[in-house]
Amino acid sequence: MSEITFDGKVFSSTFPPLPGVYRMLNAAGEVIYVGKAIDLRKRVSSYFQKSNLSPRIQLMVSQIVGIETTVTRSEAEALLLENNLIKSLAPRYNILFRDDKSYPYLMLSRHAYPRLAFYRGMLDSQHQYFGPFPNAGVVRESIHLLQKVFRLRTCEDSVFNHRARPCLLYQIKRCSGPCVNLISQDEYREDVKSASLFLQGKQNEVLKAIAEKMQIAAERMEYEQAAIFRDQMQALRKIQEKQFVDSGKALDVDVIACTSLQEGDGNVCVNLVMIRGGRHLGDKSFFPQNVQGYTLADVLEAFITQHYINRPIPPMIVIDEKIALDVLQPLLSEQAGRKVAIVINPAGERRAWLRMATENARLALKQRLQRQASQEDRLQALQFALNLPSLGRIECFDISHTMGEATVASCVVYDNFALRNNEYRRYNITDIMPGDDYAAMRQALLRRYKKIAEDEGKLPDLILIDGGKGQVSAAQEVLIELGLNDIPFIGVAKGEERKPGLEQLIFPSTEKSLKLPPDHAGLHLIQQIRDEAHRFAIQGHRARRNKSRTHSSLEQIAGIGAKRRQSLLGRFGGLKGVLTASIEELQQAEGISRALAERIYRELH
């Protein structure tokens, strides 16, 4: 690594004429741009020798006070390093795509009776995976369809291994009841094989196989079984009719379209359509940051690099902009372990797929801009109603508990015209009198803002407290104690009959409250943020309460030790199963007598 600091001049001779990565630093020592080059000397010097730089690049260059370089063995290696640095450093002048969680898959386990399940994470060879899918909703919809057609089990092993009778899914014909041997292992494997072929895009093979089974069953006069096969075929044909994209070939393709509604306005959408086994699995839209001054081809190249490095890659990627492929395509092929074709000018059905992705991108961008305009109107209306000099970042707190049990406080953040769920926080409230909402609010605010005040973190322009005068007074005490009493804050008290639109806004140190009209845009923003804080608090409270009850409910029953507790939870698949079990079913668990079963039932109900 070589490093140089300069005052208005760059000595490009200090950089080697080798491939590598360079990092531009500002006066605060922050990396503001990361780039790659096949020749570091030529690339870095070009920033200071060209006179036709875009305004954006000119602004970046004016902020540079230092440059660091790292030499690599090849341009492909430089591309990998550049991608890793962009993701870890998030420089303000690089195109940035949010690095989402790994994509979800549909999994068929390798059990004697394979389980159909949602899966996200590292893949291994123990099970069979299908995907990736663009979002969790598509996976769950696929599971629902496969349950309906092939009746595969979806229950956890802990439940499956301890069932004494079939569950509700069997009753509604969404499972064939392998847990209690209502289907043979061979018959179940046939259903698993059909489901696997269907997920691979071989629907016609599946229909042909089921038709043969139906014919055989009819010839044997097994009409009930033949009717089941008939229903399977009808369900599969309905699925095929709904499938917008069906090439008739088992193709795995990603189609990527990049578009903007107005050139240079800084708003760009990249739409990714996933086609697996010839079936359209859905699409996902991405909205990159820092795109001002970049072309659509630049954005598309950045997306492909950031999206596919260290992720599964299909054999074909169809795109709508001409980009440099001499480094990128071999790199993706090397990572995939096979050739990856990047098609720039598609024809036939691939062109139709690309048109569809382009339209998806346009619609998603229009909807995003409309939502953003609406949020801007709401924020401006609230700022005017509260007479605030500026308003951008809002934080809202809520408390949730059940009669004082498992109290949880939530803090949700609204910033830059959107809720920022990656900045949400929950606080488990302890060491207070159960049900004391004021003390709970005090503790939550102290834990939140003490840390921010000490670290000089980002403070909000407005704090919302879900509650009335008592919660507002508690908040005021904390903020005064922390020296943050100059931050505006208000309580949002529910109106008469707790109906939306009747909220009262409570101000500190004054008896006067504000009631905005039900159709006021500022009130709608408050309701949106308050409701999100409420949802997030309830979600955390329920999780904490259920965890607490799982560990404590059985422990509190006399005669139930660790061994019997484990026996009960194992047999019924958890506390929920124990709660729904009858006295006779409880008695069947190891070590549970009739008298003890009656006591357990009585204590839990």
Which CATH number fits the domain that encloses residue 429?
3.30.420.340
Give the burial class of 292: count Cβ atoms within 10 A of its Cβ; 0-12 exposed, 13-18 middle, 19 or more buried.
Answer: middle
Question: Is residue 388 included in any domain, yes or no?
Answer: no
User: Cα 140 to the chain's mean position, in Å?
Assistant: 14
Contact 414, 420 (CB under 8 A): yes
Phi-psi region of 250 (alpha: psi -120 to 50; beta: other; left: phi over 0): beta
136-181 confidence digits (pLDDT tens):
877 887 888 778 778 889 888 878 888 888 888 888 888 889 998 8
Question: Is residue 100 included in any domain, yes or no?
Answer: no
Per-residue pLDDT, 581: 78
User: Cα 187 to the chain's mean position, in Å?
Assistant: 37
Q: Are residues 346 and 474 in the same domain?
A: no
> Measured between alpha carbons, how far is residue 456 from residues 390, 450, 500 in Å?
20, 10, 36
Q: Copy the structure tokens of residue 526.
A: 């408050």
On the question of a cis peptide bond just before residue 132, with omega within 30 degrees of 0, the verdict is yes
Residue whose token pair is 């995939």: 336
If we measure between CA atoms, which residue out of 112, 107, 142 comes closest to residue 125? 107
SS3 27: coil
- Strand pairing category for 418-419 and 425-428: unpaired
Question: Is residue 97 included in any domain, yes or no?
Answer: no
Q: Are residues 400 and 537 in the same domain?
A: yes
Q: Are residues 559 and 584 in the same domain?
A: yes
Question: Is residue 434 included in any domain, yes or no?
Answer: yes
Say which residue, 219 or 450, is predicted with more confidence. 450
Residue 359 has pLDDT above 90, yes or no: yes
Please, what is the angle between helix 469-481 and helix 437-455, to 10°? Answer: 30
pTM: 0.68
Question: Is residue 269 included in any domain, yes or no?
Answer: yes
Contact 328, 305 (CB under 8 A): yes
Q: Are residues 538 and 416 in the same domain?
A: yes
Pairwise CA distance, residues 554 & 364, whole Å: 50
Which CATH number fits the domain that encloses residue 569?
1.10.150.20
Q: Which one-letter DSSP state was computed for residue 30?
A: -
Phi-psi region of 124 (alpha: psi -120 to 50; beta: other; left: phi over 0): beta
Contact 74, 82 (CB under 8 A): no
Say which residue, 455 or 394, is predicted with more confidence. 394
Q: Are residues 479 and 444 in the same domain?
A: yes
pLDDT confidence tier of residue 520, bands split at 50, 70 and 90: very high
pLDDT confidence tier of residue 549, bands split at 50, 70 and 90: low
Per-residue pLDDT, 6: 46
SS3 481: helix
Per-residue pLDDT, 558: 75
Per-residue pLDDT, 119: 87
- Which of 7-21, 198-212, 453-467, 570-584 reaches the highest mean pLDDT? 453-467
> Measured between alpha carbons, how far is residue 283 from residues 320, 510, 602 in Å?
16, 52, 51
Say which residue, 370 or 569, is predicted with more confidence. 370
Pairwise CA distance, residues 447 & 397, whole Å: 12
The least confident of 256-265, 446-455, 576-585 is: 576-585
Average pLDDT of the segment spanning 359-377 = 90
Among 526, 547, 568, the domain boundary falls at 547
> Measured between alpha carbons, how far is residue 398 from residues 245, 343, 405, 426 in Å?
45, 51, 15, 10
Torsion of CA 321, 355, 138, 124, to 10 degrees: -40
Long-range contacts of 555-564 (CB under 8 A, 24+ apart): 556/603, 557/599, 557/600, 557/603, 557/604, 558/599, 559/596, 559/599, 560/596, 560/600, 563/591, 564/589, 564/590, 564/591, 564/592, 564/596
Q: Are residues 543 and 411 in the same domain?
A: yes
Pairwise CA distance, residues 396 & 489, whole Å: 9
Q: Copy the structure tokens of residue 384.
A: 């005017």
pLDDT confidence tier of residue 237, bands split at 50, 70 and 90: low
Query: How many domains does the chain fold into?
Result: 5
What residues contact residue 386 under an 8 Å CB cut-off, 6+ apart?
A: 462, 488, 490, 505, 514, 522
Tell me the β-bridge partners of 280.
275
How many other C-beta atoms are found inside a 10 Å radius of the C-beta of residue 195?
A: 25
Question: Is residue 273 included in any domain, yes or no?
Answer: yes
Q: Are residues 48 and 145 in the same domain?
A: no
Q: Are residues 359 and 428 in the same domain?
A: no
67-110 confidence digits (pLDDT tens):
888 999 888 888 888 888 988 888 989 998 876 667 888 888 88
Q: Are residues 540 and 588 in the same domain?
A: no
Please, what is the angle between helix 55-63 and helix 40-49, to 10°? Answer: 100
Q: Are residues 429 and 305 in the same domain?
A: no
Question: Is residue 96 included in any domain, yes or no?
Answer: no
Q: Are residues 64 and 168 in the same domain?
A: no
Q: Copy the structure tokens of residue 267.
A: 């708003």
Contact 307, 300 (CB under 8 A): no
Q: Give the whole-number percent of the chain exceeding pLDDT 90.
A: 27
If we measure between CA atoms, which residue out of 245, 352, 306 comes closest to residue 89? 306
Contact 475, 503 (CB under 8 A): no
Residue 388 has pLDDT above 70, yes or no: yes
Residue 552 has pLDDT above 70, yes or no: no
Which CATH number fits the domain that encloses residue 47?
3.40.1440.10
Per-residue pLDDT, 550: 54
Q: Copy the structure tokens of residue 433.
A: 């009198």
Q: Copy the structure tokens of residue 237.
A: 């044909």
Residue 453 has pLDDT above 50, yes or no: yes
Which segments of 428-520 does DSSP mark as H helices, in order? 437-455, 469-481
Q: Are residues 432 and 502 in the same domain?
A: yes
Among 89, 120, 153, the domain boundary falls at 89
Q: Which domain holds residue 589?
A: 553-604
Residue 528 has pLDDT above 60, yes or no: yes
- Which of 244-258, 307-321, 337-351, 518-532 reaches the highest mean pLDDT? 518-532
Question: Is residue 372 included in any domain, yes or no?
Answer: no
pLDDT confidence tier of residue 442, bands split at 50, 70 and 90: very high
Per-residue pLDDT, 100: 60
> Measured between alpha carbons, how far is residue 435 from residues 397, 403, 553, 578 in Å?
16, 6, 21, 29
User: Cα 491 to the chain's mean position, in Å?
Assistant: 31
pLDDT, averaged across the chain? 83
Q: What amino acid is encoded at 403 in this protein? A: M
Per-residue pLDDT, 141: 79
Per-residue pLDDT, 462: 95
Per-residue pLDDT, 551: 54
